[in-house]
Amino acid sequence: MRKYFCALALLSLVLNVAFAQSADLKKLEDITTTAIKKAYAASVRCYGFDTVKKQQNSSQFSAVSVKDGYILTVAHAIVPGNTYKVRFTDGRETIAAALGEITDQERQGLPDMGLMKLLQPGDWPYAEMGWSYSLKRNEPCISISYPETLNLLAPTVRFGRITNPADEWGFVVSTCKMEPGDSGGGLFDYMGRVIALHSRIAMPEDVNFEVPVDKYRQYWSALLKRESYKQFPAQQDEVGKDPEQGNILTLPYLETLPTELQHVDRRAGERVIRIRSAVNGSERYVLGTVFNYKGKTVIVSKSSEVGDAPELMGNGKGDKGLRVLKRDPDNDLVLLQAKSKMKAAFKLDSRKETDSLSTKDTGRFLLSPIPSAPAKMSVISASGIHLPRKYSVGYFGAGATFIEEKITITRFGPSSPAAKVLKLKDHITQINGVTVSLPPHYGAELMKYNAGDTISIDGMREGVPFHVKVGLTSTPAMSDHPAEHFAGGKSRRPDGFKGVFIHDAALRPEECGGPVLDREGNLQGINIARFSRTASLAVPLAIVKSFIGI
């Protein structure tokens, strides 16, 4: 054990010297990906599970497996004595029982601690427990957990820094973004040690509150009992000493990391453009990526945000009109051609070596150039992801009941587009010319259309036929949770993709359509959607090449 601590101390000393003078992004990327490999397998997906009825009985949450079969999570995710299904990243599933949890009903700060124990012995992966008292401002950190909206069986990764090792409530504050489902997941240091557990968020995306791991150490004996504590227990344990305390790495440049990648951003230059067009009567803005292949210059962008008569924004000379060549509805891509000459473009060829990303690329640094604005820094969170249509389905906002063998409107949802032209007790007979005579027909037909589409509705109102048109919108936020109200919000089409990769850039919807580069400036794909607070989506380069015709 002493040799292990000495090795870690030497590693930290070397890293501090290496990073002292300037940003060595390759070394930072290397230690980040190494830490992820250490911590990833111990990051587990959990939910309440009735072992008699064999069914889920609670929402999904995240946790971290530590030594001897114990599972660290947060109090608001568990109930002492209840059982939970625990799924590891290698696909193995087992059952855990909740032990103790510590909360304080009189305030919203600390504590928020929960502990579970695996019921089945086994060679389960586990993470090393670190120390939180030794954390420093601008120390790099990593989040590995399971956002509920993505509903993935593997966790996603986010990179950030410690902004406050201990705030007024006792939380560790980090820039690693969180959303529902991440609760109980691990915040890891750059050595792969769990240093805190995800608890809650503020409205700004870079303000995220974590339960310090030292609190688990301090109240370990109390947490081993199946009890709900409403305040800190009297019994306390020794926290111990961090052998790395004197060698903790801090990187002030993390506060402005995109500036360290401006040499990559400059090379992108005019290969990223802004596009303006009208979609269903609404003015839209989006980015486009300029390519050159065999002397042909084309632009790729996000199809659902580009109308039939787009134009190039900016002060360039010549005709700013863009010609739509083709569209790919499945990948939401559009191929455009400028009517005037473009100054710069990404050069494409038919090589395939760097066209595909895999799990081994998780944690690699990325840069999303934005014209006339700072670039967005991110890391690869997950790759090869399939996201079915759910949030991109157009919002109609009218519930129907089958009454006297007629589909009858019986309720309207909040901010309902249908409520503007329909009335309660209207009978619906057709949607976009398709007859709907049974309840399954009604829902199935509406599911075909996206936000922004306009559909026609035929029906009967008090015995009189009517025909109206309804413009579908995005589903309104159904919660006041801060995770639903991040800057810019979701893209109008945030899902319905196959084979995309996820990264943690805080993109706005109008910043999609632009390129995603690695830290060396190599093109990795096209940003296609802002999916949620923690996730932006990008189409890999292989799909883009296939769309262009390479």
Name the H helices within 415-519.
Answer: 439-446
- Residue 338 pairs in a beta bridge with 322
Task: Give me the chain's average pLDDT, please.
Answer: 90
Which residue carries 């995240």 as its tokens? Answer: 62
Cα–Cα distance for residue pair 465/117, rounded to 1 Å: 63
Reply yes or no on whether the pLDDT at 16 is more than 70: no
DSSP SS3 for 288? strand
Say if residue 7's pLDDT is above 60: no
Is pLDDT of 212 > 80? yes
C-alpha 64/C-alpha 42 separation (Å) is: 6
How far apart (Å, rounded) are the C-alpha atoms in residues 364 and 532? 20
Q: Which of 349-353, 419-423, 441-445, 540-544 has the lowest mean pLDDT?
A: 349-353
CA dist 494 and 447 (Å) reads 15
Given a cut of 90, whether residue 280 has pLDDT beyond it is: no
Q: Are strands 454-461 and 427-431 parallel, antiparallel or unpaired?
A: antiparallel
* Confidence (pLDDT) at 264: 65
Lowest-confidence region among 156-160, 333-337, 465-469, 516-520: 516-520
- Categorize the per-residue pLDDT at 474 as very low, low, confident or very high, splitting at 50, 70 and 90: confident
Structure tokens at 209: 């509150």
Write down the pLDDT at residue 261. Answer: 65
User: What is the pLDDT, as a whole number, of residue 177?
Assistant: 97
Buried b (16+ CB within 10 A) or exposed e, 465-475: ebeeebbbbbb
Percentage of residues of the chain with pLDDT beyond 90: 75
* Lowest-confidence segment of 253-257, 392-396, 496-500 by average pLDDT: 253-257
* Higher per-residue pLDDT: 295 or 196: 196
pLDDT digits 0-9 by tens, 361-414 = 999 999 999 998 888 999 999 999 999 998 889 999 999 999 999 999 999 999
C-alpha 322/C-alpha 213 separation (Å) is 55
Q: Of 2-6, 176-180, 350-354, where does the model show the most confidence?
A: 176-180
Cis peptide before 417 (omega within 30 of 0): no
Please compute the mean of the pLDDT values over residues 16-24 and round it to a whole number.
53
pLDDT for the residue 262: 64
pLDDT of 255 > 80? The answer is yes
d(CA 62, CA 39): 13
Look at residue 21 in the predicted model and tell me its pLDDT: 41
pLDDT band of residue 11 (cuts 50, 70, 90) is very low
pLDDT tens-digit profile of 148-175? 999 999 999 999 999 999 999 999 999 9
Average pLDDT over residues 445-469: 93
- 422 alpha carbon, distance to own chain's centre: 36
Instruction: Give the tens place of pLDDT for each residue, 50-88.
Output: 999 999 999 999 999 999 999 999 999 999 999 999 999
The fraction of the chain above a pLDDT of 70, given in percent, is: 91
pLDDT exceeds cutoff 50 at 418: yes
pLDDT of residue 8: 41
pLDDT of residue 263: 64
Name the pLDDT band for 9 (thresholds 50, 70, 90).
very low
SS in 3 state form for 316-336? CCCCCEEEEEEEECCCCEEEE
pLDDT tens-place string over residues 294-350: 788 999 999 999 999 999 987 556 678 999 999 999 999 999 998 877 878 998 875
- Bridge partner residues of 456 (DSSP): 469
